[in-house]
Structure 1
Amino acid sequence: MDTEPHTLLRSENRRCKIAILSRGDATSRREATAQNSRFVHVFEALAATGIEAVPVVYDETFADTVRDQLLTMDGVLVWVDPIHQGKTRAALDPLLRDVAAKGPWVSAHPDVILKMGVKDVLYRTRHLGWGADTHRYATVDAFRAEFPSRLRAGGPRVLKQNRGNGGQGVWKVETVPNIGATIRVLHALRGSRPEQMPLEDFMARCEPYFGWGGCIIDQAFQPRLPEGMIRCYVSGAKVAGFGHQLIRALIPPPPQGPDSPEAQPGPRIMHGPDAPQFQALRRLMEDEWIPQMMAALGIDEASLPVIWDADFLYGPRDADAADTYVLCEINASSCFAIPDEAPAAIARAVRDRIRRNMASVR
């Protein structure tokens, strides 16, 4: 007989309450409901698990009000990009740290994001099976001293600012034959066109990336990029689904131009965790790479985000002609859209986290 209660109780008098935090303005905050939220299926899955969830909209202009609201919650699920319309998480992250220090758990916690949800993870885990030819420039001086010779010696490179999303601060860089120090660059931001410029000018353009983000990551360009990107969705340490998409970022636009229909990425085709074509990748993630990443970064399983994703490009085929996979980023700040199977996985992870927290205070 199923004796599981239909609600999770924080005390005898109150159900557990979770905030789903996203960015918006005062109007969207005032009008936010579970039903009109883009996270409606997450709300539904949490409710089916007996967890009350409420939408909370954040902006710097009413941050104190948001902080007070979050302190009334048992937990906070955060979907806020590192960069959105010129705004960063520079004010939000300290707020979330303060909230977490006072009791409510936060996922993803800003300190966990700084370990796994930034491009520096590509360098810190380059020794894992998902790694590639990867370097890190911690200062402007190191960038200027090391990057030019590496570019000349090794073919096209991809430079990535440490914190960003949507292709912002990600560049394909290659030399132009027989034109000295002139290079060709292509920004991953949608609508970009290739540019030719002196290497010195481009490096000066990248210097602001050493501000908030703190470093630049340098990877070898992956020639199989046109075959698409595989997004592996993960809840905690378990794969929750996959998405495959033919992307156009870092691929020169067609003659019709970067805004033409021919230049747009294909749809992301979502799959559940049991999709046959991705089982090799699933086994690698669950059995090897996620545990190895946790060890390398010093993250325990209970601190992993309740939803995150690892984006892979196809690497060189191995000796048996099987695919290999190269990690190009991890998204832990705002992982959405998600496969149909993911909301239930999120709800299970939230339920388990609530139970652990309840047990720890008994």
Structure 2
Amino acid sequence: MKKHVIFLEVEGGNDKGTDGLRPDTMPIVNSLKAVGWTAEVIFYTEAKKKELIEHIAAEADAYISRINPGNLDDESSYFEMLRQLTNRGVVGLERPEVMMSYGAKDVLVKLRDTSLVPTDTFAYYNMTDFIENFPKHLAKGERVLKQNRGSTGEGIWRVELVNKEEVDINGALFTAQVKCTEAKDNQVYNFQLGEFMNFCEQYIEGENGMLVDMKFLPRIVEGEIRILMINDQPVNVVHKKPAEDADAFSATLFSGAKYRYDTPADWPVLIKLFKEKLPMIIGILGDYDLPLIWTADFILDTDEHGNDKYILGEMNCSCVGFTSHLELSDDVARAIVKLVTKNKSKELA
């Protein structure tokens, strides 16, 4: 093995430090060097794609993708480059199929037949399905719609019927008044249902377009619990409590949520549950190696016996940061060495 890793970044974006890099990239680079490996950071551009493929395939054992999908002009072209690299023997952290399995919102639909996700969770991949079925679900109670690839709460909507009587046998009326709150900033908007559904077409159109529809969990006001994972190990837990405004449900810092950083030992019941479910999750999501750095977000709910239960609200692995705990870079570096060595050993077997 070359023991050389290339980190892929892109210029620009609100996730960069003063040096133009993500704040958590160089700590990992330095931690790799401390264990005898080498690493470099390369900025991806579409114009240099062919040149990058040749350089990475010749020089590196692995690539580490540190690009937020929102900072790419053409995600599909970037993914196509990553697939070419893995086809040429470069270990991908992460491969596109892993990013889509663990990072797309419809992971919730794939897991809805498990105890982690309510069974009345749905995905809409076209407007016909959305128009036919969303009013039926809304008639039964508040819903949350989530666009596929949004970040910081953008395109995540809490939707509530203002008048519960504005329904018929097909569900909520298209003329019904709905109160819609976006998680980005807890801003409330009033629409007719038909208007709002037409507005949501932007989330369904285009490549990888899709909306997930799940019931609103009122105990979100108690906080969302994010488990930060380095491969198969929980290393940090963030308790994210929404602002105390009447309509607030967003757990993003931008929206005014308060964050508390805990250890996995502070959440023994949740950590035990999640670790027990990991083999099942891996199997359902394609039997891939777990991502290098990823998260799972949970919200408290109450079961039929009045006991607490944890509901999975989201998973992410496309470009998870750990800027609040840069000391984790040593753990990340060790995981990189382990994963690359394991995959390279498979090639030689």
Question: What is the TM-score of this pair, normalised by structure 2?
Answer: 0.84
Residue type of the alignment partner of 1:203: M
CA pair 112-56 structure 1, distance change in 2 beyond 3 A: same
Counterpart of 1:196? Answer: 190
Trace 1:27-66 onto structure 2 (pairs within 5 A).
37-66=23-52
Q: 1-side partners of 2:246 and 2:87: how far apart?
A: 44
Local SS of the residue matching 2:320: coil
SS at match of 2:32: helix
Task: For residue 343 of structure 1, give the secondary structure of its aligned residue in structure 2.
Answer: helix
1:213-240: CA deviations, max 9, x gaps? 2321101011011111111111222222
Is 2:89 aligned against 1:107? no
Q: Distance in 2 between matches of 1:39 and 1:246?
A: 28
Normalised by the length of structure 1, the TM-score is 0.82
Q: How well do the aligned residues superpose, as a CA RMSD in angstroms?
A: 3.1
Matches of 2:8 and 2:246, distance apart in 1: 34
Aligned mate of 1:156, from 142, 147, 153: 142
Relative distance call for 1:239 and 1:156 in structure 2 (3 A) is: same
Write the deviation string for residues 82-114 of structure 1: whole angstroms up to 9, x where unpaired. 223x84523211111111111111111111122
Cα distance in structure 1, aligned partners of 2:241 and 2:95? 31
Q: Do residues 272 (structure 1) and 263 (structure 2) align?
A: yes
What's the offset of the Cα at 1:147? Answer: 0.6
Residues 206 and 263 (structure 1), Cα distance of their counterparts in 2 relative to 1, 3 Å cut: closer
Unaligned runs of 5+ in 1: 1-9
Amino acid corresponding to residue 328 of structure 2 in structure 1 = A
Q: 1:286 aligns with which of 269, 275, 288?
A: 275
Query: 1:33, 1:54 within 8 Å by CA — same for their partners in 2?
Result: no
Do 2:242 and 2:248's aligned partners in 1 also have CA atoms closer than 8 Å?
no
Between stretches 176-185 and 330-339, larger displacement belongs to 176-185
Shift of 1:328: 1.1
1:98 & 1:113 partners in 2: Cα distance? Answer: 16
Corresponding position of 1:221: 216
One-letter amino acid of the counterpart of residue 195, structure 1:
Y
- Give, in angstroms, the shift of residue 315 of structure 1: 1.7
From the superposition, tell whether residues 129 and 93 of structure 1 become closer, same or farther in structure 2 (CA, over 3 Å).
Answer: same
**In 2, Cα distance between the equivalents of 1:90 and 1:249?**
40
Q: Is the 8 A contact 1:174 1:185 kept in 2?
A: yes
- Supply the distance in 2 between the matched residues of 1:212 and 1:318 (Cα, whole angstroms): 40
SS at match of 1:160: strand
Query: Structure 2 CA distance, aligned partners of 1:169 and 1:63?
Result: 30
Counterpart code for 1:142: D
Distance between the aligned counterparts of 2:306 and 2:221, measured in 1?
Answer: 22
Q: Is the 8 A contact 1:47 1:53 kept in 2?
A: yes
Counterpart of 2:320 in structure 1 is 335
Confirm whether residue 126 of structure 1 aligns to residue 112 of structure 2: yes
> Counterpart of 2:169?
none
Residue aligned with 2:218, SS: coil
Quote the Cα distance in structure 2 between the aligned partners of 1:203 and 1:195.
Answer: 13
Amino acid across the alignment from 2:274: M
Is this contact kept in 1: 2:162–2:177, CA < 8 A?
yes
Answer whether contact 1:240 1:341 (CA < 8 A) is retained.
no
Could you report, residue by residue, the CA deviation over 1:135-167 in whole angstroms, capped at 9, with x for unpaired residues? 1223211110011121012x1100111222221
CA distance in 1: counterparts of 2:79 and 2:161, whole angstroms: 39
Q: Which amino acid aligns with 2:197?
A: M
Aligned equivalent of 1:172: 158
Number of aligned pairs?
A: 331
